[in-house]
Chains A and B, each alone.
Chain A
Amino acid sequence: MSKIISIHSFRGGTGKSNTTSSLAVLLASEGRRVGVIDTDIQSPGIHVLFGLRPDDIKRSLNDYLWGNCTIEQAAVDVTGNLKTADGGPGVGTGKVFLIPSSMKAGEIARILREGMNVDLLRDGLRRVVQELALDVLLIDTHPGLNEETLLSIALSNALVVIMRPDQQDFQGTVVTVEVARKLGVKRMMILVNKNPRTLDPADVKTQVEQTYKCEVAAVLPHADEMMDLGSASVFALRYPNHPITLMLKKLADSLMA
Chain B
Amino acid sequence: MIRLDTTTANLLAALSRLRTGLDHLDANSHKIVHALKNAKVEAPADPAQDLRKLREDLEAVEQSVKALTLRLERSQELISTSALLTSTLESSQVLDKVIDTVIKLSGAERAYLMLREAGSDDLTVQAARNYDKETISPEEASFSKGMVNTAIEKREIVLSTNATADVRFADLDSVMDYTLRSVLVIPMILREEVIGVLYADNRMKDGQFKKELLPLMTAFASQAAIAIENARLFSQIRADLDAAKSEVRSLRIQIDPDHAEREISDIIEGDFFKRLQDLARRSGDTAEPESSSTSQS
* Given contacts A175-B260, A183-B280, A213-B294, A154 and B255 within 8 Å (CB-CB): no
Shortest CB–CB separation between residue A152 and chain B, in angstroms?
10
- 72-117 of chain A: CB within 8 A of chain B: none
* Given contacts A175-B260, A178-B292, A183-B289, A150 and B276 within 8 Å (CB-CB): yes
Picked from B259, B289, B295, the residue with its CB within 8 Å of the CB of A171 is B259
On chain A, the residues within 8 Å of B293 by CB distance are 181, 213
Whether B253 and A207, one on each chain, are in contact in the complex, defined by CB atoms closer than 8 angstroms, is yes
In the complex, A186→B284 CA distance in Å? 10
Whether B254 and A155, one on each chain, are in contact in the complex, defined by CB atoms closer than 8 angstroms, is no
Q: Which residue in chain A gives the minimum CB-CB distance to B263?
A: A175
Is residue A210 within 8 Å, beta carbon to beta carbon, of the partner chain? yes
In the complex, A176→B287 CA distance in Å? 17
Whether B276 and A183, one on each chain, are in contact in the complex, defined by CB atoms closer than 8 angstroms, is yes
Q: Which residue in chain A gives the minimum CB-CB distance to B250?
A: A203
User: Contact string, B254-297, partner A, CB cutoff 8 A, digits 1/0?
Assistant: 11100110011001100011001101110101111110111111
User: Contact string, A201-213, partner B, CB cutoff 8 A, digits 1/0?
Assistant: 0011001101111
Is residue B211 within 8 Å, beta carbon to beta carbon, of the partner chain? no
Whether A182 and B294, one on each chain, are in contact in the complex, defined by CB atoms closer than 8 angstroms, is no
Is residue A184 within 8 Å, beta carbon to beta carbon, of the partner chain? yes
Shortest CB–CB separation between residue B294 and chain A, in angstroms?
5
- 147-188 of chain A: CB within 8 A of chain B: 147, 150-151, 154-155, 157, 165, 167, 170-171, 174-175, 177-179, 181-186
- Interface class of chain A by DSSP: helix
- Chain A residue total in the interface (Cβ 8 A): 36
Is residue B192 within 8 Å, beta carbon to beta carbon, of the partner chain? no
Picked from A175, A183, A198, A204, the residue with its CB within 8 Å of the CB of B286 is A183
Whether A182 and B268, one on each chain, are in contact in the complex, defined by CB atoms closer than 8 angstroms, is yes
On chain B, the residues within 8 Å of A30 by CB distance are none
Is residue A200 within 8 Å, beta carbon to beta carbon, of the partner chain? yes
- How big is chain B's contact interface, by range? 35 or more
Picked from A170, A184, A204, A211, the residue with its CB within 8 Å of the CB of B287 is A184
* Given contacts A179-B264, A184-B277, A170 and B253 within 8 Å (CB-CB): yes
* Given contacts A174-B255, A175-B264, A150 and B285 within 8 Å (CB-CB): no
- Interface class of chain B by DSSP: loop
Whether A183 and B256, one on each chain, are in contact in the complex, defined by CB atoms closer than 8 angstroms, is no
Is residue B39 within 8 Å, beta carbon to beta carbon, of the partner chain? no
Picked from B249, B267, B268, B297, the residue with its CB within 8 Å of the CB of A211 is B297
Whether B249 and A198, one on each chain, are in contact in the complex, defined by CB atoms closer than 8 angstroms, is yes
Whether B260 and A171, one on each chain, are in contact in the complex, defined by CB atoms closer than 8 angstroms, is yes
In the complex, A155→B281 CA distance in Å? 10
On chain A, the residues within 8 Å of B268 by CB distance are 179, 182
In the complex, A165→B252 CA distance in Å? 9
Q: Which residue in chain B gives the minimum CB-CB distance to A126?
A: B283
Q: Which residue in chain A gives the minimum CB-CB distance to B276?
A: A154
* Given contacts A186-B287, A210-B295, A199 and B279 within 8 Å (CB-CB): no
On chain B, the residues within 8 Å of A242 by CB distance are none
Q: Which residue in chain B gives the minimum CB-CB distance to A214?
A: B294
On chain A, the residues within 8 Å of B245 by CB distance are 197
In the complex, A76→B234 CA distance in Å? 57
| Best-surrounded residue of B247, B280, B295 (most CB of chain A within 10 A) | B280
Picked from B251, B273, B288, B289, the residue with its CB within 8 Å of the CB of A199 is B251
Is residue A122 within 8 Å, beta carbon to beta carbon, of the partner chain? yes
Whether B259 and A183, one on each chain, are in contact in the complex, defined by CB atoms closer than 8 angstroms, is no
Is residue A145 within 8 Å, beta carbon to beta carbon, of the partner chain? yes
Is residue B248 within 8 Å, beta carbon to beta carbon, of the partner chain? yes
* Given contacts A150-B267, A203-B250, A210-B295, A184 and B272 within 8 Å (CB-CB): no
In the complex, A204→B295 CA distance in Å? 16
Whether B251 and A151, one on each chain, are in contact in the complex, defined by CB atoms closer than 8 angstroms, is no
Whether B251 and A184, one on each chain, are in contact in the complex, defined by CB atoms closer than 8 angstroms, is no
On chain A, the residues within 8 Å of B286 by CB distance are 154, 157, 183-186
* Given contacts A145-B267, A154-B276, A207-B251, A184 and B295 within 8 Å (CB-CB): no
Shortest CB–CB separation between residue A59 and chain B, in angstroms?
27
Q: List 26 A-B contacts (CB under 8 A).
A: A154-B277, A171-B260, A174-B255, A174-B296, A175-B260, A177-B294, A178-B260, A178-B264, A178-B292, A178-B294, A181-B289, A182-B273, A182-B277, A182-B289, A183-B276, A184-B280, A184-B288, A186-B287, A198-B248, A203-B248, A203-B250, A207-B251, A211-B294, A211-B295, A212-B294, A213-B293
Minimum-distance CB pairs A-B, first 9: A184-B289, A154-B276, A154-B280, A181-B290, A186-B287, A184-B286, A198-B249, A157-B285, A200-B248
Binding site for A on B (CB under 8 A): 245, 247-251, 253-256, 259-260, 263-264, 267-268, 272-273, 276-277, 279-281, 283, 285-290, 292-297
For the A-B complex with A171-B255, A197-B245 known, give 9 more contacts whose Cβ atoms are closer than 8 Å: A147-B272, A151-B279, A154-B286, A171-B256, A184-B280, A200-B250, A203-B248, A212-B295, A213-B294
Binding site for B on A (CB under 8 A): 118, 122, 145, 147, 150-151, 154-155, 157, 165, 167, 170-171, 174-175, 177-179, 181-186, 197-200, 203-204, 207-208, 210-213
